[in-house]
Amino acid sequence: MSRVLTALQPSGVLHIGNYFGAIEPLLDLQEHNENHLFIVDYHAITVPQDPAALRKNILYATAVYLAAGIDPNKTILFQQSRVPQHTELGWILNCFTYMGELERMTQFKDKSRGKGESVSIGLFDYPVLMAADILLYDTQVVPVGEDQVQHVELARDIAKRFNNRFGEVFTIPEVRIRQSGARLMGLDDPTKKMSKSAESPRSYISLQDSPEEVEKKIKTAVTDSESTIVYDPEHRPAIANLLTIYSLVSKKTTEEIVMNYEGKGYGPFKTDLAAAINTWLQPIQEKTLMYLKDEDQLRRILDMGAQKAKEKAEKTMQRVRQTIGIIL
């Protein structure tokens, strides 16, 4: 049994890359571990947010996690801003983090590019709040996609620096990356990861796409000049990505799928793939809508999560306040 923790931003669109990379791995983990999943609204406001849209997106994210099978009795499911210890520890950790470390973060470099002087301090400081998120719960395992590894490593460095100075205050967390599905690629460009900030929505299958949209996106997904269906990520990345998606939604192995399409072309393969995605997506969409109909219930679930999280977070904070010498 380990203490596992991850978080996602409430950013409106969730695509199948987010689902298989970040949400689904938690379903198994919640059976045998102390699991924490939260919605990082304070990370989301590091870029401008419309208040009405933010509120809607927090509720939508909660509904999707529940629809996916996150059980609030097994996983502590909450909203980051409801546990003020996150920002409190974030401030303290700021005093143990170097400018140079944050300047090296690739996400900051990407997101601040071209903005000149008008980049917010929040965007720069984002990884320190994330370190606080992780260290508050004595987290041992942090499952994330590849893009977040550098941030988890920073959390480790800050924790070690703090412990070297004061003794064993923080648990040093480990990062865990999913083996298959950690990086679904864009449907329009298999060399780039599937991403909601891609130029075209044709790049991803959103969890809100209609069956017709899914059919259209799969029909126009790039393949390659050969017409056989084989799994060869190195030489045939486009078809390998479609096979990975087929395998994830149908729970069949890529070998089984490849066998079924021996001697057949892309046409029937794509028709069946779109149908398999829609069969998988339909119950998730129905359940999401069902949860969204009862916003009070969503708020109650988040309240319950915040309550449990706050108790744990406060224990750590008492230890930290005592350690740094502000308890009189």
The residue whose two tokens read 């319950």 is: 304
CA dihedral sign, ordered 191, 192, 198, 199: negative
Q: Is 323 in the site for ligand ATP (CB under 6 A)?
A: no
- Confirm or reject binding of residue 148 to ligand ATP (CB under 6 A): yes
The Cα 212–Cα 223 span in angstroms is: 20
Stretch that binds ligand ATP, among 39-47, 129-137, 190-198, 267-275 (CB under 6 A): 190-198
* CB of 231 vs ligand LTN, minimal distance in Å: 28
Which residue of 142, 238, 274, 281 would you call a contact of ligand LTN, by CB under 6 A? 142
- C-alpha torsion 30→34→40→42, nearest 10: 170
**Binding partner of residue 156 among ligand LTN, ligand ATP, none, CB cut-off 5 to 8 Å per kind:** none
Give the CA distances from residue 196 to residues 123, 193, 207, in Å, rounded to whole numbers and listed in that order. Answer: 19, 10, 11
Q: Which member of 25, 145, 173, 305 binds ligand ATP (CB under 6 A)? A: 145
C-alpha closest to that of 58 among 35, 42, 75: 42
Structure tokens at 217: 């996106």
Which member of 56, 74, 111, 216 is catalytic? 111
Q: Which C-beta is closer to ligand LTN: that of 97 or that of 254?
A: 97
Q: State yes or no: residue 144 binds ligand LTN (CB under 6 A).
A: yes
Considering the complex, what minimum distance in angstroms separates the CB of residue 64 from ligand ATP?
A: 12
Annotate 214-235 with three-state secondary structure. Answer: HHHHHHHCCCCCCCCCCCCCCC
Binding-site residue numbers are 9-11, 17-18, 133, 145-147, 184, 193-197
The residues of the shown chain that bind ligand ATP, judged by CB under 6 A, are 8-9, 11, 17-18, 21-22, 144-145, 147-148, 182-184, 193-197
